[in-house]
Chains A and B, each alone.
Chain A
Amino acid sequence: MKKKFWQTFMLWELLKGLKITGKHLFATKVTLQYPEEQAPKSVRYRGLHALRRYPNGEERCIACKLCEAVCPALAITIDSAVREDGTRRTTKYEIDLFKCIYCGFCEEACPVDSIVETGITDFHFENRGEQILGKQQLLAIGDKYEAQIAAARAEDAKYR
């Protein structure tokens, strides 16, 4: 009791607090300057979706609807038809990004590596309805980031 009184009287705990903050004044700062610096991302990162093409320009998707079936959030809607050359292709491939939970099951289910999730995280929508990505938009994303997508898949392949 007596000791505690003198400790309080001498502001002992306040001095201890000052010592801690004084130490942190000189501590190394770990802040990441976000737009310029970014934290490293795994090649398995599941971000924005994309539809890929074969190197000859033919779209990979064969409208098997496995992704639509496996999707736990029912975010994918697919309509299919037979194209002039007799192959089955999608006429509508839509992903609602508000419904999507980014689980990556669609990518796992895809037998032809068509639907993939890229590492892109910084995207936004300005109007209602824009969150539903159509086939052409998904293909465009795939075309734009194909090099990145292929490199990530190649790096991850040896662990699969």
Chain B
Amino acid sequence: MLIYAIKFILIACVIVSLIITVVLYTYSERKVIGFMQDRIGPNRVGPKGILQPIADVLKLLLKEIIRPSHANTYLFIMAPILALVPSLAAWAAMPIGHNLAIANINVGLLYIFAMTSLGVYGIIIAGWASNSRYALLGAMRSAAQIVSYEIPMGFALLGVIMAAQSLDLSVIVAKQNGGFVHWYAWPLFPLFVIYWICATAETNRAPFDVAEGESEIVAGFHVEYSGIPFAIFFLTEYINMILVSFLAVIMFLGGWHAPFLFLAWIPGIFWLFAKAIFMMFLFLWFRATFPRYRYDQIMRLCWKIFIPLTLLWIIVEAVAIQFGLQPWFGI
């Protein structure tokens, strides 16, 4: 009984801290993009505008939930829930220290990968249930994009699994012990870059946000959503961004290990969070820099470049593992 109570408290802690992180993340997104565009960003609500996201949340919570006529009400309401639940569930296996996860399973990577893939159903159902052609187009694009980018992302993860000989996230991190030269980002650098680009595409972020493409299809799959359901879609997107940032850190950047051995006295959680925050910052940096890809270019990039490239690098890596390339693939 007690173990369930502890798990329940842990789950509540994770969800609350995720929501707080999302709130701060939206604020810093507006600030960072504003600064990059030579603007100041929100600065009216609270000191330096820090309360702006709170005001936005309040606005969204108080707004009416508009239900389009002839929309499938059941699916329309279910869609945001179906999007949110997998993205929260994925956090169950996310360790923040050695074996420090809510559910410490030995196929954590597979589980998280499965959960992030499930999120696309929320988007497809949202587009279908809205009874709007813009939403349907956005959902269609999003589905094709996410399903396509799953493949090179899976191959990139496969590279990590080959290197660590394990699906356990704690073991993957443990194998990268000992300074930044031991991180998998170096031998698997092409996979790291491809993973990160795929992660941007998977989370529907700029420059791969054709699913929302304001200029052609208004707002894509969530065009008919308002109020709380819209807030949930928003929350899901940001939780997914945070999730893939943490995953990138754990798989390629040594997780909670310090970059230099003489800095190892600082607790691992600090390094994990610092690296993840840097990766999260990259999302904002990309959004401020790159214009949106054309839809066919997105597909071309995935199928004609990323998939052959990841396969090629997996072969290179297999050779490197066979010959025990130091310091990463010791026998």
Residues of A contacting B286 in the complex (Cβ-Cβ under 8 angstroms): 18
A1 within 8 A of B: no
Evaluate contact between B288 and A21: CB separation under 8 angstroms.
yes
What residues of chain B lie closer than 8 Å to A22, measured between beta carbons?
A: 36, 285
Docked Cα-Cα span, A2 to B285, in Å, equals: 29
Measured in the bound complex, the distance between the Cα atoms of B323 and A127 in whole Å is: 85
A107-141 interface bits toward B, Cβ cutoff 8 Å, 1 = contact, 0 = none? 00000000000000000000000000000000000
Closest to A31 in B: B40
Enumerate 8 A-B pairs (CB-CB under 8 Å) in ascending A order. Answer: A18-B286, A21-B36, A22-B36, A25-B35, A27-B38, A29-B39, A31-B40, A33-B43
| Interchain CA distance A31-B49 in the complex, whole Å | 15
Is A24 located at the chain interface by the 8 A CB criterion? yes
User: Is residue A30 contacting chain B, with contact meaning CB distance below 8 A?
Assistant: yes
Binary CB contact string for chain A from 3 to 30 against chain B (1 if under 8 A, 0 otherwise):
0000000010010011011101111011
Using A20-B289, A33-B43 as known contacts, list a sample of 7 further A-B pairs with CB atoms less than 8 Å apart, ordered by residue number in A.
A11-B193, A21-B285, A21-B288, A22-B285, A29-B40, A30-B38, A31-B40
B265 located at the interface, meaning its Cβ lies under 8 Å from any Cβ of chain A in the complex: no
- Nearest B residue to A32, CB-CB: B40
Q: For chain A, give the interface size range.
A: 10 to 19
**Residue contact B40 to A25, C-beta cutoff 8 Å:** no
* Contact present for B36 and A25 (CB under 8 Å): yes
Question: Is the C-beta of B37 less than 8 angstroms from some C-beta in chain A?
Answer: yes
**For B289, what are the chain A residues with a Cβ–Cβ distance below 8 Å?**
14, 17-18, 20-21
- Assess whether A29 is in contact with B35, with CB atoms less than 8 Å apart: yes
Contact (Cβ within 8 A) B285 A24: no
Task: Rank and list the top 8 A-B pairs by shortest CB-CB distance, nearest first.
Answer: A21-B289, A21-B36, A17-B289, A31-B40, A21-B288, A25-B35, A25-B36, A24-B36
Query: Complex formed: what's the CA distance from A26 to B286 in Å?
Result: 16
Chain B residues within 8 Å of A, Cβ to Cβ: 32, 35-40, 43, 193, 285-286, 288-290
Q: Which residues of B contact A26 (CB under 8 A)?
A: 35
- Min Cβ gap A45→B in Å is 26
| Contact present for B39 and A17 (CB under 8 Å) | no
Chain A interfacial positions (CB closer than 8 Å to B): 11, 14, 17-18, 20-22, 24-27, 29-31, 33
A2 to B299, CA, bound (A): 23
* CA–CA, A24 and B37, complex, Å: 7
- Which residues of the other chain, A, contact B35 by a CB distance below 8 angstroms? 24-27, 29
Give, as a whole number of angstroms, the nearest-CB distance from A34 to chain B: 11
Contact in complex: B40, A14 (CB < 8 Å) = no
Q: Assess the B38–A29 pair: CB atoms within 8 A.
A: yes
Q: Which residue of B lies closest to A22 (CB)?
A: B285
Q: Which residue of B lies closest to A11 (CB)?
A: B193
> A39 CA to B286 CA in the complex, in Å?
33
Q: What residues on A are CB-neighbors of B37 within 8 Å?
A: 24
Report A-chain residues with C-beta under 8 Å of the C-beta of B193.
Answer: 11
Whole-angstrom distance between the alpha carbons of A26 and B193 in the complex?
26
Q: Could you tell me if B288 and A31 are in contact, using CB atoms closer than 8 angstroms?
A: no
Q: What chain B residues lie within 8 Å of A29 (beta carbons)?
A: 35, 38-40
B39 engages A25 (CB within 8 Å): no
Give Cα A25 to B193, complex, Å.
23
Question: Could you tell me the distance between the alpha carbons of A33 and B39 in the complex, rounded to whole angstroms?
Answer: 11
Please name all residues of chain B whose beta carbon is closer than 8 Å to the beta carbon of A20 when the two chains form the complex: 289
Chain A residues whose C-beta falls within 8 Å of the C-beta of B43 in the assembled complex: 33
Q: Which of A24, A25, A27, A30 has the most chain B CB within a 10 Å cutoff?
A: A25
How far is A10 from B28 in the complex, measured between Cα atoms in Å? 29
The minimal Cβ–Cβ distance linking B216 to chain A, given in whole angstroms, is: 23
Contact of B285 among A18, A27, A31 (CB under 8 A): A18
Closest A-chain residue to B207, C-beta based? A14
**How far is the CB of B277 from the nearest CB of chain A, in Å?**
15
**How far is it, in angstroms, between the C-alpha of A14 and the C-alpha of B289 when the chains are bound?**
8
Residues of A within 8 A of B36 (CB): 21-22, 24-25
Docked-complex contact B38 and A24, CB < 8 angstroms: yes
Nearest CB to that of B39 among chain A residues?
A31
CB-based nearest B residue for A27: B38
Inter-chain contacts of B288 with A (CB < 8 A)? 21
Residues of A within 8 A of B40 (CB): 29, 31
Complex alpha-carbon distance, A153 and B35, angstroms: 41
- In whole angstroms, what is the CA distance A31 to B34 when docked? 11
